[in-house]
Every structure is written in structure tokens, then in C-alpha cells.
Amino acid sequence: MPTVFEAPEINWAAIAPMLVVMAGGLIGIVVEAFVPRRRRHSVQVALSVVALVLAFVALVTLTVDNRVKTLGGSVVMDGMSVFLQGSLIVFGLLGVLTMAEKFGGDRPDAFTPMGAAIPGSAYEAAADRAGLATSEVFPLALFSLSGMMMFVAAGDLITMFVALEVLSLPLYVLVGLARRRRLLSQEASLKYFLLGAFASAFFLFGSALLYGYAATTDLDGIAAAITETRPGLEPLLVPAILLVLVGLLFKVGAVPFHSWTPDAYQGAPTPVTGFMAAATKLAAFGAILRFVYVGVEGTRWSWEVGLAVIAALTMVVGAVLSVTQTDIKRLLAYSSIAHAGFILVGVLAFSTLGLRGVMFYLLAYGLMTIAAFAIVSMVRQGGTEATQLSQWAGLGQRHPILAATFGFLLLAFAGIPLTSGFTAKFAAFAPAIESGTLGVVLVVIGVLASAVTAFVYVRIIVLMYFSDATSEDVVAAEASPLTTAAVAVGAVATVVLGIVPGPVLELAAQASELIR
């Protein structure tokens, strides 16, 4: 007699934030189809902001009180999911504010003979022809954000893979949105897509092997199978775990899966780079935490050393190669690689304190990253973004407030005390030291790598304040109130989380209980 299919129970309150963000993206597609072009940008900005605010309200009022497994266990809304989804919504809101700069950071006069100025409506027409007033960025960002929110809450490997693709495919398009402005964006998008496809294949191969071992893709079921004796199937386990981790580590830019990072960061429109650097890293680490803490922790002695080697290489390579960079976006890309290594040190603590430290680090890093890239998008020469380090010489003398804000964010990246960067590193490294000899070794490497990156950041500050300008036409463009608000939020949060981190650390500690 055939088995009757029973639809899984759905707790709508638990998944309400994801539904709201997805609905915002769908409505954005309708806006692209029917709203007149001249009004489309403002409508999309308003729609995205409203959708994200409603999603955050739903998270606080509904999801917090509905921490359950739903959709047949494929979605797990526990403390970690709620904390990370809330952080993602904040990153999404700040990202939308920076993307709201209509011309994407490059003036269309860069496309006119001899850089002639374009007045009035002709200016906007030129922007449209140049492909810079791309309002489709907003629904794409919402779709990607909905995939990220699902990624951190996925309770089985199939849902995790679907979420991985939902978050990745819009990002491939977002990276190439500057395609009419420079071929570099096309190249970056293609590299990101091809390498992302390989990473997804590794994830699928690993998931298939884990299914062959445990006869389930559910993370709890995999954990239960690991505790049992399965004669003849043990050789499948470790290769399967490593293949899944390859797919996940690609998204955080860990070495040796980092080669896409500098190209994608450099080629993407700068506001998109900030959003991608903050939100994608948080989502990928959320999935890593759930996979290694819930699904395969019982066998971590078999692969822990390998992951530690990757963490060490990530810190060293990211720090050392950042010294050689002459482009500010590539420099911040290698900096993000080093930070991925620092966060992996906290992951390898395998403790509640380690989980708390990683979540705090992800929030603090994301806030300062979005603000930093927003500032990069404001520094221009000849109508285009000035990303070469030589162009930043003397910036502190001509634009002291902007340079001071960027310098402060760089000090936070370096982990200077009284900034969120210092608190985040302490929160991630302290549990690793308590975890044993391996953790101590990683922390020592992390401290040395931090010293190297500190040299890089201080060199930029010296360049801005103590070097003569090589060109007088490098200016800080007057940003819209929305971008200014995003920078202000990131900078203030960096101060607050450095001086009084207690409330957020306590919130992260309360969110460290995983539903198994």
C-alpha cells in the first residue's frame, strides 16, 4: 500500500522575516516591469527599506518567541539563527542605503570627450546609457539576502544547498553590474561564477557521500549516524565532510579557496562589494557553525587539524599579500581573507564561548566593512572612483572628516583597543586559547598576522595625513544623506561595540544555544 504523503507543519511566525524579504524582492521585479524608468530608482529604494524594516520587526516580534524546527526540520530557528538573521537584515539595510547612490560611484562625465560636464537631465540620461542607474540592484540584493537568511537556518544539506544557490546567483549578477563601465566587472563576475560553480559541485559531492553514509541529509540524522557503528561506511565520512567544507569555505574566502575574492571585490560596484563582504561572510560562517557544531562535531578529531591548517594559511596569506597591494579595494579584499582566518580560530574552539565570539566578530566586522567601502566609493578623481593608494595621498588635509572616519575604521580592522575590532578578536581568540594546544598555536599566528595587517592599515593613515597629494583633482564627493547615514551607523557601532560591548556579547551568549 503506497505511503500517504503528509505535508510538513509550517510555523509561519518563525519564517516570517525570510518571507518578507523574499516578497520584497518579488515586488521589486514587478516594479522593474511596470514603474516608469525615471521613478523606478526611488520606488525600489523605498520598497527595499520598508521590506527590511518589516522583516526586522517580524524577527523581533514573532520569530524570537518561535524558536523551533519547522518545514519538516529543514529550517531551524534557534538563537543562532535569530541573531545572525537580525545581523543580516541590518547589513542589508545599510547595503541598500549605500547602493542608493544613483550613479554607482562613477559620474557619467567620465564617458564624455575630455571629461566635459553634463548638466541637468542630460546627466541622468548619460547615467542610464552608461549602465550606472541600475535599479535592479535592489531586488537582486533582497533575493540574495533571503538566501543568506535561509543559509544560516538550514537544518539539512539539501536546504543548505538551495540557500547557497539562492544567495550566490544574484551576487554573480551584482558583481557584474558595472559591466558597461569597465571590463574588469565582467571579468570579476565570470571568475566568481565559474569558481562558485566548482565550489557548489564540491558541496554536492560531499552531501551525496554523507547521504551514502547516514542515509539522510538531515544534520541531526548525520550526527546520530556518526555515534553509531557503521561497518564498511567509515571511509565515506571524512572525505564527505571535507568536500562540504570546501564548498562552505569558498564563500568565506579561506585559503586556498580565496582566488575569487580580490578580483570580485575590485570589479564589483563598491557599494555591492561592501554588502557582499559583510553579508556573505556572515551567512557562510553561520552555515559552517551549524554544519560542524550540529552535524559532524562527533568526528571532529579526524578533520580538525586540517581545518586548523586552513585557518593558519588564511591568516598568513591574507596578511602578507595585503602588504603588496596598491589598490584599496584589493587591499581590503586580502584584509577580509585574513579576518576569515581570525574567525575560523573562534570556530575551532568548539565551545559555547567560541560560538558567542564568532557571532560577535561577524556583526562587528560587517558593520565596519560596509562603512569602509561606502567611504571608498566617495573618493573620486576625474569623475571615477580613486582606488589606487597613491590617489589617497594628502586626503586628510583636504577632507579631514572623511579621512579621520576611514582611519578610525582601519584601526578597528587592526584590532586597536576601544574599537569593536579589538573586542571581536578577544572574543574569538580567548575561547581558542582555552581549547588546548592547537588553539594556542592558532592564536599566536593570529596575533602575528594582526601585527602585519596593522602595518598595512597604519601605512594608509600615514599616506592620507603625512604625504603630499600627487594630484589636486582627487576629491571626496558629497554623499547623499542615505550613504552618510550608513557610514555614521557603521562608525558609531564600531565605537559602541568597542567601549560597551557587554549588551551585544550577552545577546550573543543567549543566542549560543543550538537546537539539535
**Residues 58, 66: Cα–Cα separation, whole Å:** 11
443, part of any domain: yes
The one-letter code for the residue type at 359 is: M
How confident is the model at residue 384, as a pLDDT? 77
How confident is the model at residue 247, as a pLDDT? 93
Which among 193, 341, 316 has a CA at the least distance from the CA of 253? 341
- Stretches where the chain sits below pLDDT 50 are 1, 103-132
What would the pLDDT profile of 363-393 be if each residue is shown by its tens digit? 999 999 999 999 998 888 777 778 888 888 8
245, part of any domain: no
What would the pLDDT profile of 270-293 be if each residue is shown by its tens digit? 999 999 999 999 999 999 999 999
The one-letter code for the residue type at 265 is: Y
What domain range includes position 326?
A: 303-516
271, part of any domain: no
359, part of any domain: yes
- Number of Cβ within 10 Å of residue 489's Cβ equals 17
Angstrom distances, CA of residue 502 to CA of 80, 83, 427:
18, 15, 11
How confident is the model at residue 73, as a pLDDT? 85
Angstrom distances, CA of residue 461 to CA of 11, 409, 456, 464, 505:
51, 10, 9, 5, 30
328, part of any domain: yes
Cell triple for 464 = 592620507
88, part of any domain: no
State the total domains in the chain.
1
Torsion of CA 129, 189, 483, 130, to 10 degrees: -10
427, part of any domain: yes
71-109: b or e for each residue (b if 16 or more CB lie within 10 Å)? bebbbbbbbbbbbbbbbbbbbbbbbbbbbbbebbbbbbb
How confident is the model at residue 126, as a pLDDT? 38
Cell triple for 29 = 521585479
240, part of any domain: no
Q: Do 369 and 451 contact (CB within 8 A), yes or no?
A: no
